[in-house]
Amino acid sequence: GAVVSQHPSWVICKSGTSVKIECRSLDFQATTMFWYRQFPKQSLMLMATSNEGSKATYEQGVEKDKFLINHASLTLSTLTVTSAHPEDSSFYICSARRGDGDYGYTFGSGTRLTVV
């Protein structure tokens, strides 16, 4: 079945530094990938949609200069949290959509980011 690998699973960084999170589709080509943020005991909030080879589309209220998304290939999308602050601490989840017709979406296991 479709598998999405997300790395790292958890990361701790200092305020002001940048952190990169990778999302890879292991056995399929993902034409579209989505990045979500999940606060404790809350739902997933869509941050942005990325299509391979083009600029990401950000949801309202999400700072595109702070959350840099690069979808360089059909199997890899990266989210870079730049100049991280403690309020950026959260659980980040990626999702990949297969290029076939059944609109299948597969989710990564998430990345727990803690900014200290």
Partner 1 sequence: AQSVSQHNHHVILSEAASLELGCNYSYGGTVNLFWYVQYPGQHLQLLLKYFSGDPLVKGIKGFEAEFIKSKFSFNLRKPSVQWSDTAEYFCAVNASSSASKIIFGSGTRLSIRP
Per-residue x/- track, 66-95, partner 1 (CB under 8 A): ---------------------------x-x
Residues between 51 and 70 with contacts to partner 1, criterion CB under 8 A: 51
Task: Tally Cβ neighbours within 10 Å of residue 32.
Answer: 18
Residues 82, 95 contacting (CB under 8 angstroms)? no
Given the structure tokens 């990169």, which residue do they identify? 20
Among 21-29, 43-51, 66-74, 75-83, which window interacts with partner 1 (CB under 8 A)? Answer: 43-51
Per-residue x/- track, 93-112, partner 1 (CB under 8 A): x-x-x----xx-x-xxxx--
- Interface with partner 1 by CB under 8 A: which residues? 31-32, 34, 36, 41-46, 49, 51, 93, 95, 97, 102-103, 105, 107-110
